Structure formats: structure tokens, C-alpha cells
Amino acid sequence: MGDPRAPMVLFAGQSHPSLAEDIAGHVGVKLGDILVHNLSSTETEVKLQESIRGKEVFIIQSGSKRVNNDVFELLTMVYACKTSSARKIVAVIPYLPYSKQCRMRRRACITSKLLAKLMCNAGINHLITMDLHQREIHGFFDCSVDNLRSSPFLLQYILDNIPNYRECVMVAKHPSSTRRVSSYAERLRVNFAVVHGELKEEEEREVDGRTSPPPTPIQIGNGTLPIVAPATFACSFPTPIPRYQQKIKPSLSLVGSVKGKIAIMLDDIIDDIEPWCLLAGFLKEQGAQKVYAMAPHGILSGNALELINSSSSLDQVVITNTVPLSNGLAISPKIHVVDVSKMFAEAIRRIHNGESMSALFTNITED
């Protein structure tokens, strides 16, 4: 009998063609022939230019600044492969869009769960991604998920490009990222510090209305619209603390020391660069010699290029190539991009050959 494995095909969307080419080069195959474009009405059209019946299809599509277009383009490509009788469809999404919207806040929705359901319903059988914002996102998908780690590549960058890396201190921008930072510090055998008092707006637990004051009568003309009296309860409840008392931010402080050290701020996503620049200035005031900003995913939205180049406190920004950069950001001398395409290529090879993925996580603690 012949090889029972199905033939492999790699397709790439329009979000990050250079990364797709690098991955295909490491795998040792050419990208499949597929036509993905936008019509004059801005609708997305996908046409397969080759037969994929009975084949194992890998679709490479990352998130970029055209996030909604990228998402729908991916869904259309997956559905086109499903209706063309592909044996298995594996989505390779280096940066999963909407991953930060994974908690219920106020009267919003958990958008990352919605995206997961859309992907699974479109036909995804397996997902390969990197450094999810929260590990709980795994549970949103009704298919297998492999969450790769960029930490080996970022740690290697520190070893290769910071000669006196033993003198560095890993810094958590906020207490919620302490686990990731301590993991890096343990492997480098250096100290770590935590910035306290800088609350990220998107991570705050906003008031959802359940502690709102009681309603007041509504004035209509010369009269008043009556309101229904609230129900009485047999037991009493504590009086809610007003929001202005709950959300008073403590003064900015640093748990740990960076005096005379190289401070490396670490998080999973760099989107708005302004808070990073402000914290870099704070660390310089605390005596840091140099300040690095490091994260797997560098979205760098808004006027990030101008802020990075003009900042006298932020010395370098280190990111991976999971998200495409504009031409200006790509040539900035203060931005260094680490290539992680080999990790995705090895994951694709192992999945296609039916090999264990655990080797990719050996000696890697949870980041």
C-alpha cells in the first residue's frame, strides 16, 4: 500500500504574504494557486485554481491593521476549501484577531468567542496560532488548537544582542503579566520587576450597571411619571461603593529595582506605543540604563513610528513577524523584528506527518 497521508497544500491570504512565503520555504513546498481579491464593491472573492479534493490544506492568514477584511477573507478561503472536498483544513493564524476581547465587560460581548464559532462553522478542523492573549481562548474553539510560543526566539535575541544580558531586569508593565515576565526571568536567570499603579483601560473591570443609583422620577410637563417601587428583600445588602472610590489609581511605583540595569518591558501585544514610552521614561527615572520594549505581536497602530523615533527613553522595540509592518516601521532603526516562520513550518510538518507536537514545547514553561 502507498503512503496513507493525504497530499499537502499551502494557501496564503493577503494579510501577510512575506511570512507565508517564508513558512512555505521552510516547509519545502510552493504556495498553492488561489485567487483572493476584492471586487469593486469591496466584496471578497476566492477562487481555487487547483484541485484540493482529498488533500490536507493549510491556510496562512494572520491579523493585520485590516483586521475585519482579514477575518472575512480567511472565512471565505476556509469555506471554499470545505466545499471543494478538502480532507482537512488547518488554519495557521500567527496573530489571532480579537483575542483581547475574550472577557465580558459592561454590556459588550465576548467577540473572540464569536470569531471562534465562525471559524469552526466555516470548516476549520485545526488551528495553529502563537501566544494567545489568554489561554482560556482554547475553550472557544470546537477544534484542536496548538498555541505556539515565541519565547525561544525572543530569549535567543536577548542572548545574541545584549552582551551583558546578565545585567538586565525583566519588567512587567502591569501585575497581570507577572507570570510571563517571571518565566523569562527564570530562564535567563535574572531578576524581574513589576510596575504597579498603571492600570490598562482595556483590562479594567468596568461597571456594568448593577451598582447604579436608584432611578429618579421622570418629569413630564407639570406632572411626574411614577416609577415602580423596588422589591423589598428579607435580608439587607451592603451599600455599593461608588465608582470614584473603587477606581482611584495608586501612585505609580516599581516593585523591584532597575537602577544601573537594562530594563526589558515584556507583554504579549504592543498596540498603542504611547503607554510604553511613558513607562520607559518612568524606568529611566528609576535609574535604568536602557529600556527595551518586547512582545510577540507588534500591531503598532496610530502614530507609533513617530512616537518611537522621537522617544528619548525607549531605546529599542523588539517584536516578531507575526503581524506585517508598514514600510516606515519596517525600516526604523529602533524596531527589531525576530523571524518565527521556522516554528510555524515545523508545526505544519509535524501535523502533516502525524508527529507529536510536544517537542515544540519541551523546556518551555507557560508564558
Segment 88-128, tens digit of pLDDT: 999 999 999 999 988 887 778 899 999 999 999 999 999 99
Q: Give the sheet arrangement for strand 168-172, strand by strand.
A: 253-255, 191-196, 168-172, 262-266, 290-294, 316-320, 335-338
- For residue 241, the 8-state DSSP code is P
Closest CA to 317 of 272, 264, 268: 264
What's the pTM? Answer: 0.84
Of 30-44, 161-175, 230-244, 338-352, the range with the lowest mean pLDDT is 230-244
Strand partners, 170: 192, 264
Strand partners, 269: 297
Give the E-state strand segments of 168-244 in sequence order. 168-172, 191-196, 218-220, 223-225
Helix (H) or strand (E) holding 264: strand 262-266
- Rounded alpha-carbon distances, angstroms, from residue 129 to 104, 150, 286: 23, 10, 37
Percent of residues in the chain assigned helix, strand, coil, to nearest 5: 35, 20, 45
Residues 200, 204: Cα–Cα separation, whole Å: 7
Query: pLDDT value at position 203?
Result: 45
Q: Quick check: 50 and 85 in contact, CB under 8 A?
A: no
Query: pLDDT value at position 367?
Result: 60
Q: Quick check: 138 and 112 in contact, CB under 8 A?
A: no
Residue 206 has pLDDT above 60, yes or no: no
Helices (H), 90-130: 111-122
Q: What are phi and psi of 40, to 5 degrees?
A: -60, -25
Residue 305 has pLDDT above 50, yes or no: yes
Residue 340 has pLDDT above 50, yes or no: yes
